[in-house]
Structure 1
């Protein structure tokens, strides 16, 4: 196994155990894509056709309206960054994704992925576990957004996502917290 698939292999072995033959066959189907900084990876109103794994770099995920963009997530660690609802249910996504740094992705097209999961009879558990995690994260995110102040949300980032605060531009963090960059600056001054 080459070094480019070590992170995804480790991810699958930890999160979604497959038999060794199935894992090797799956990993052999992933291709490497290098994406330059500020390049769109995913655009709203298009169907997700690839399962993408972030191997290196930082990606922001956001919604966009006529007047503004609102960040909803950042990906900084080796993990899947695919809009699973769009990918699994063949729907158009409502999300956008953009590379904040140069990015290395591993990707596999939807049909190849489905064939390998069906062949090794692990598809249902992969999808079920993925959606359980996604739902749990979404509920926590929504709960926090509704019940906590901007300062409390920032404090949670300090505790749970300190790498975001070190690597992601502050105006993107402000958008994620749904505040202005100036408000973020005041919160940071109060806390430090």
Structure 2
């Protein structure tokens, strides 16, 4: 059986889901495995599921006919959905590619929001998620604009050494092409 402990701890500590809520949440989860090279989401599609990365490495990027720009990489167990478009039921501009085989825990959008409404933690989930997203985005933009490539590398070395060990450097240090 797939281990839901990290997802369970997240909801127990961050949001007011009691044990019944946790059990109901787990009853909604689908475990989906993807092969290396698979796309989890493509630009101009709707984010129909809340996705939690259980295992593997995912690259998130923007793309047009001329270039791809990496936005983020996910290695640690965490939510990887485009939360803005998930909550608003709108199209995303992001793409996500599996850089390894990946295991994702998924919950369909409508049952998830029904659950949050039932346990009255929906607003706190959305608010906290957006605050965290905005903070990450601000930090990323600040670093990209103000830091040299060497400074960015040093920060990765200190704060995200697992990226340097697990993600091909050609993707980490790609220059918008």
Q: TM-score, normalization: structure 2?
A: 0.96
The number of equivalent residue pairs is 177
Which consecutive unaligned segments of at least 5 residues does structure 1 have? Answer: 181-192
Which consecutive segments of 4 or more residues in structure 1 shift more than 4 A? none
Partner of 1:93: 92
Instruction: Tell me the alpha carbon deviations over residues 114-173 of structure 1, each in whole angstroms, 9 at most, x when there is no partner.
Output: 100001100000000000100000011111111111111111000110000000011111
Q: CA deviation at 1:17?
A: 4.1
Aligned-pair Cα RMSD in Å: 1.3
Q: TM-score, normalization: structure 1?
A: 0.88
Partner of 1:47: 46
Q: CA deviation at 1:40?
A: 0.4
Partner of 1:190: none
Which consecutive unaligned segments of at least 5 residues does structure 2 have? Answer: none
Contact 1:49–1:87 (CA<8 Å) still a contact in 2? yes
Contact 2:116–2:122 (CA<8 Å) still a contact in 1? yes
Which structure's residues are more often helix, by fraction? 1
2:82, 2:123 → 1: CA distance?
17
Partner of 2:159: 160
**What does residue range 102-181 of structure 1 map to in structure 2 within 5 Å?**
102-175=101-174, 178=175
Note if 1:63 corresponds to 2:62: yes
Q: CA deviation at 1:3?
A: 4.1
Higher relative contact order (CA 8 A, sep 6+): 2
Instruction: Tell me the alpha carbon deviations over residues 84-133 of structure 1, each in whole angstroms, 9 at most, x when there is no partner.
Output: 11100111100000100000000011001010000110000000000010
